[in-house]
Structure 1
Amino acid sequence: MKTARPALIIAFGAALDLAAKLWARTSLEPYGAATDFLPFVALRLTFNQGVSFSLFSFEGETARLVLLLATAALTASFALWAFRSQGLERIAASFIVAGALANVIDRAVYGVVTDYLDLHFGAWHPFVFNLADVWITAGAISLFFCQFSQKQSRVALRG
């Protein structure tokens, strides 16, 4: 199988997320009632001023700009990693970049990140997220396993 091209994964993943966010912004009532979608996921439009789980959420234009620049710089560094790596590590880093880029674009255009997938277990709703967060999480988990499997391979070669 040919090595995945990071640009294709990044472009497709970011475009899919941005299209879903546009749909959510035009179809769902902001901060309205959750609408069942999947057994543990409902649709509910919210806006995140911070990063994942609303961490580093600040008010004001200066704080928004600093957060935008910081996340753009991190995204660029992961993009460099994606283009320089190989195999599953390349795919995983590309997934992270796809999600991060989509969130950076969303924040640059709207000043916030659009969230619309409401995770819930009965009446408990721990957080609302978006498809970009799924890409970032899947990429991070995959990178973890890449690092673990590479370490195991080095141990096996020594033994």
Structure 2
Amino acid sequence: MKMAWPILIIAFGAALDLAAKLWARASLEPYGAATEFLPFVALRLTFNHGVSFSLLSFEGEIARLTLLLATAALTASFGLWAFRSQGLERIAASSIVAGALANVIDRAVYGTVTDYLDLHFGAWHPFVFNLADVWITAGAILLVFCQFSRKQSNVAVRNSSKTT
């Protein structure tokens, strides 16, 4: 049952994001006006040809395939980490894989990653993202927490061994 958790998290997270992307592509006008959704999030369909914040956005099929293969390899390495880790670290790595896998599939099918959640504060719109980005960010924050907690535990163990 321990091995089922990463599979469930990855499958559910990726499927939910891919379903939302299909909905966005079918329902929203590409690069159209934003539609209010939540207080700081609107719906607006855009396409990311690179990675986060459109970094590494290159033209051409070779560049697209190179980016696809690189992100697929990175996703696979996080997948191995998810299956080899335990506890919160396993959940965090699985969350990252769910988001990364959904973005890899989207890029493989359409050549770009579909973004549809427009973060805004008044007239300032810093970026548009998707649920996969939420899974990746949440997993990364949880991994940092796990590392910080582990470091604090190691300090506590070292300090207690000095007093005995």
- Give the structure-2-normalised TM-score: 0.95
Which string of whole-angstrom CA distances, capped at 9 and with x for unpartnered residues, describes residues 21-76 of structure 1? 00000000000000000000000000000001101001110000000000000000
Structure 2 residues not aligned, in runs of 5+: 160-164
Query: Could you list the runs of 4 or more consecutive aligned residues of structure 1 that deviate by over 2 angstroms after TM superposition?
Result: none
Deviation at 1:150, TM superposition (A): 0.2
- Percent identity, aligned pairs only, is 89
For residue 5 of structure 1, give the secondary structure of its aligned residue in structure 2: helix
Larger Rg: 2
How many angstroms does 1:4 deviate by?
6.5
Aligned length: 158
| 1:102 matched residue in structure 2 | 102
Matched with 2:19 is 19
In 2, the alpha carbon distance for the partners of 1:4 and 1:85 equals 13
Against the structure 1 CA distance between its residues 54 and 97, is the aligned structure 2 distance closer, same or farther, given a 3 Å change threshold? same
Equivalent residue for 2:48? Answer: 48
Root-mean-square deviation (CA), in Å? 1.0
**Structure 2 match to 1:120:** 120
Q: What secondary structure sits across from 2:29 in the alignment?
A: coil
C-alpha contact 1:4 1:90 (8 A) present in aligned 2: no
Q: CA deviation at 1:5?
A: 1.2
Instruction: Give SS of 2:18's match.
Output: helix
Counterpart CA distance in 1 for 2:108 and 2:3 is: 32
Deviations 1:102-152 (A, max 9, x none): 000000000000000000000000000000000000000000000000000
TM-score w.r.t. length of structure 1: 0.98
